[in-house]
DNA sequence: CGTAGACTTGACGGCACTCAAACAAGGTGG
DNA sequence: CCACCTTGTTTGAGTGCCGTCAAGTCTACG
C-alpha cells in the first residue's frame, strides 16, 4: 500500500483494532485539502462552526481557552495522527480554539464525507468515535493530575504521556523526542505559572530523569520517570481489540 | 407516548436534536435490566470489562480515580439521563470507577444491542456519540476551572453547571435543587481539601449567591453566581441542531 | 553586535494544605 | 427517651507550595 499523508492516523487506528483495507481506502478517499499553518496561528477558533474536521499530519497543536482576564488554559496537546476537532462534526459550534504549537500540516475532512462514513461504515464510525473517547480519557487523566498530583508528578506525567503518544506517531528517536514548547505554554497546559514550571523542571532534571536541551527531551530513566509520575498507560487504550 | 424509565434520557437527547419515534422505540427496546445501587457502592470498577453500559435513571453518580496514596479525584458528576460508561462499549476496559453518590437506579444496555444500533441506526448512533462528546466538553471545562480559576470561581462554576444540567433532567425546583454531596467529596471533585471547601462555601454564601441547607442548594442570585463563575453554558451544547 | 524572546534567579506574599479540636446532627440501642 | 456514636461541618493555628514582581542571563537571529 502506498504511504499516504494520513499514514500516521491509520497507524494510530491499527494500534487499537484491525482496520480493513476497504476502510483505510474510505479514509484516504474522504480526505480533502491539505493546508499548512504557521506557528502560533489558530487552526480553529472558539465560536466557529466548521464544515470540516482537522486531521493533524505534522506538527503539534493545542486546544485552549482564554478567560476574560487573559489567562489561558490548554486542555489538550495534539500530535500527528490526531483529529483535533473531530467533535465539531456533531457538536457543531466550537467551544474552544486550537492553535499550532509549531508549524503544522493538516488535512481537512469535509463533514458531509464523515457523515457519509457514519451512514455506510459502522465499524469505521466506531473507530472514529473511539478516537474521541481516547481524547476524553486523556482529559480525565489531566483532571486527576491537576487535582491531586504534585507539580513534579504532573510534569513527569505529561512527559510520559507524550513519550508514548509520540511513539505511536513514530516520532520518538530512542530515548529522545522533539517537544518545541515554551515554559509559558507548559504552564498554560499544567495550570501553573511559568516561573514554577522552570523550578519544577530543574528539580526533575536534578533527579536525572531526563534532559531538556533546546527542543529535545531525552529520557534518561524511563522507569524512574514513570514511577515519579505514577504513570500507567492504560488510559491510552493501546490494545488491539475488536471494537 | 407512554412515560418510560428512560424518559429523562430521551428528553436530554431531544434538547440536542430531533429524535424520531422509531429511534426512541429502539432505545426503549434496547434497555435491559433495571438495578438499584446503594449509596457509596461502585456501579463499575476500574479494570472491569463490562458487557453493558449503564444509564443513570435516578440518583447521582461520580466517576473517580484513586491514587496510590489513597487520594481521590472525581472526574465527573453524573445526573439522571446520563450514560455513565457508554465509552466502555468501545474502550472495553474501564480506566476509572463509577460510584453512587446517592442511592441510584440504573438501566443496563447490553453492548451487543448498542452495537446493533451502531450497525442499523446511524443517526441515533451519532446522538449516542454526541452524548460522550458533551461529557468530554464538560471535562475540558473542569480542566480550565482547575487550572486557571480561583477556588471561589471554580466552586461557583460547578454549581452553575449542575443547576443547568439538573434542569435538563427536570430536577430543579425553581431556584432550588437537591445536591447531596459532602464537603469531602466536593473537595475530591474540585481538587481541594475539605477544609478549604468549607471556607470557600462560607465566602460564597456570605456574598448571598446561594444558601446550602442540608442537601438543598437554593440559588439566590443566578446572575451574580454566573458572573462570579464566568459561567457560559455554551459548552453544554444545549441547542437543537441537525446532527 | 544589538535586540528580542526565552530562560533563570531572588524576594516576598498569599492561597490553600495539614493537623487538631470543637461543634452539630442524625441514627441506634439500651 | 436519652446517652452515645458516627458522620459531617466548622474553626484555629501553623506551614509551605506556588504565584507575582522584578531583574538578570542566555541564545538565536538579523
Is A213 within the bounds of a domain?
yes
Do A24 and A119 belong together in one domain?
yes
Structural domain boundaries, residue A137? 3-141
Do B132 and B155 belong together in one domain?
no
pLDDT at site B3 = 72
Would the CB atoms of B90 and A129 count as touching at under 8 Å? yes
Which residue in chain A has the smallest CA separation from B145?
A73
Position B38 pLDDT exceeds 70: yes
Is A242 within the bounds of a domain?
no
Do B129 and B170 belong together in one domain?
no
Domain final residue pick, A106, A141, A176 = A141
What residues in A contact B90, CB-CB < 8 Å? 126, 129-130, 133, 243
Do A159 and A208 belong together in one domain?
yes
Instruction: Give the count of Cβ contacts less than 8 A between chain A and B.
Output: 138
Contacting residues 61-90/B vs strand D (CB within 7 A): none
A1: pLDDT confidence band, cut at 50, 70 and 90?
Answer: low
- Inter-residue contact A231 to A156 (CB < 8 Å): yes
Footprint of strand C on the protein (CB under 7 A): A 182-184, 194-195, 198-199, 201-202; B 150-152, 191-193, 195-196, 200, 214
Position A44 pLDDT exceeds 90: yes
A46: pLDDT confidence band, cut at 50, 70 and 90?
Answer: very high
Domain final residue pick, A84, A107, A141 = A141
The minimal CB distance from B147 to the residues A122, A130, A191 is found for A191
What residues in B contact A92, CB-CB < 8 Å? 237, 239, 241, 243
What number is the average pLDDT over the span B149-176? 97
Do A97 and A121 belong together in one domain?
yes
Do A53 and A100 belong together in one domain?
yes
For residue range A152-208, list pLDDT tens digits in order.
999 999 999 999 999 999 999 999 999 999 999 999 999 999 999 999 999 999 999
Is B92 within the bounds of a domain?
yes
Give the percent of chain A with pLDDT over 90: 98
- One DSSP character per residue, chain B reads ----TTHHHHHHHHTTS---HHHHHHHHHH---EEEE-TT-EEE-TT---SEEEEEEES-EEEEEE-TTS-EEEEEEE-TT-BSSTTHHHH-S-SSEEEESS-EEEEEEEHHHHHHHHHH-HHHHHHHHHHHHHHHHHHHHHHHHHHHS-HHHHHHHHHHHHHHHHHHTT-EETTEEE----HHHHHHHHTS-HHHHHHHHHHHHHTTSEEEETTEEEES-HHHHHHHHT--GGGG-------
What residues in A contact B126, CB-CB < 8 Å? 90, 118
Do B53 and B171 belong together in one domain?
no
User: Domain holding B208: CATH number?
Assistant: 1.10.10.10
A60: pLDDT confidence band, cut at 50, 70 and 90?
Answer: very high
B2: pLDDT confidence band, cut at 50, 70 and 90?
Answer: low
Q: Is A109 helix (H, G, I), strand (E, B) or coil?
A: strand
pLDDT at site A76 = 98
B66 contacts: CB under 8 Å, gap ≥ 6: B72, B97
The minimal CB distance from B147 to the residues A73, A96, A137 is found for A73
Please state whether strand D lies within 7 Å of residue B39 at its CB atom: no
Is A243 within the bounds of a domain?
no
Do A131 and A156 belong together in one domain?
no
What residues in B contact A190, CB-CB < 8 Å? 147
Q: Cα dist. B38→B46, B58, B60, B164, B179 in Å?
A: 18, 12, 11, 26, 17
Domain final residue pick, B141, B164, B181 = B141
Distance CA A220, CA B187 (A): 36
The minimal CB distance from A139 to the residues B125, B139, B149 is found for B139
For residue range B107-136, list pLDDT tens digits in order.
999 999 999 999 999 999 999 999 999 999
Q: What one-character DSSP code corresponds to residue A207? A: T
Is B241 within the bounds of a domain?
no
Closest CA to B224 of B209, B242, B239: B209
pLDDT at site B1 = 53
Strand nucleotide closest to residue B181 (CA to C1'): D8
Is B19 within the bounds of a domain?
yes
* Chain D bases near protein Cβ (<7 Å): 7-13, 17-22, 28
| Rounded distance in angstroms from the CA atom of residue B196 to the C1' atom of nucleotide C18 | 11
A10 contacts: CB under 8 Å, gap ≥ 6: A4, A19, A24, A27
Q: First and final CA of chain B: distance in angstroms? A: 24
pLDDT at site A136 = 98
Position A2 pLDDT exceeds 90: no
Q: Cα dist. B100→A96, A232, B161, B180, B215 in Å?
A: 31, 25, 19, 11, 16
Distance CA A178, CA B230 (A): 36
For residue range B53-64, list pLDDT tens digits in order.
999 999 999 999
pLDDT at site B33 = 95
Do B155 and B135 belong together in one domain?
no
What number is the average pLDDT over the span A74-81? 98
Do B105 and B162 belong together in one domain?
no
Give the percent of chain B with pLDDT over 70: 99
pTM (two decimals)? 0.97
Domain count, chain A: 2
In angstroms, the separation between the Cα of residue B140 and the nearest Cα of chain A is 6
Strand nucleotide closest to residue A202 (CA to C1'): C8
Is A81 within the bounds of a domain?
yes
User: Domain holding A126: CATH number?
Assistant: 2.60.120.10
Quote the longest CA-to-CA distance of chain A: 54
What residues in B contact A235, CB-CB < 8 Å? 95
Q: Residue B223 CB: number of other CB atoms within 10 A? A: 9
Do A10 and A90 belong together in one domain?
yes
CA dihedral B17, A48, A141, B15 (to 10 degrees): -20
Is B64 within the bounds of a domain?
yes
Most A-contacting residue of B97, B129, B149 (CB-CB within 10 A), to test interface: B129
Do B121 and B159 belong together in one domain?
no
- Inter-residue contact A1 to A21 (CB < 8 Å): yes
Amino acid at each position: 500500500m502506498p504511504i499516504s499523508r494520513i499514514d500516521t492516523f491509520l497507524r494510530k487506528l491499527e494500534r487499537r483494532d484491525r482496520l480493513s483495507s476497504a476502510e483505510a481506502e474510505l479514509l484516504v478517499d474522504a480526505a480533502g485539502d491539505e493546508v499548512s499553518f504557521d506557528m502560533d496561528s489558530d487552526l480553529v477558533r472558539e465560536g466557529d462552526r466548521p464544515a470540516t474536521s482537522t486531521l493533524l499530519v505534522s506538527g503539534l497543536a493545542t486546544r485552549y481557552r482564554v478567560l476574560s482576564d487573559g489567562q489561558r488554559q490548554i486542555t489538550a496537546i495534539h500530535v500527528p495522527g490526531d483529529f483535533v476537532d473531530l467533535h465539531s462534526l456533531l457538536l457543531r459550534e466550537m467551544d474552544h480554539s486550537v492553535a499550532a504549537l509549531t508549524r503544522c500540516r493538516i488535512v481537512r475532512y469535509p463533514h458531509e464525507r464523515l457523515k457519509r462514513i457514519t451512514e455506510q461504515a459502522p465499524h469505521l464510525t466506531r473507530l472514529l468515535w473511539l478516537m474521541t473517547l481516547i481524547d476524553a480519557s486523556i482529559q480525565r487523566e489531566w483532571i486527576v493530575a491537576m487535582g491531586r498530583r504534585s507539580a513534579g508528578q504532573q510534569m513527569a506525567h505529561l512527559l510520559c504521556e507524550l513519550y508514548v503518544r509520540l511513539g505511536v506517531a513514530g516520532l520518538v528517536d530512542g530515548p529522545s523526542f522533539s517537544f518545541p514548547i515554551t515554559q509559558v505554554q507548559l504552564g498554560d497546559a499544567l495550570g501553573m505559572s511559568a516561573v514554577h514550571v522552570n523550578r519544577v523542571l530543574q528539580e526533575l532534571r536534578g533527579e536525572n530523569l531526563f534532559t531538556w536541551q533546546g527542543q529535545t527531551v531525552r529520557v534518561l530513566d524511563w522507569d524512574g520517570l514513570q514511577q515519579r509520575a505514577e504513570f500507567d498507560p492504560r488510559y491510552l487504550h493501546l490494545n488491539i481489540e475488536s471494537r
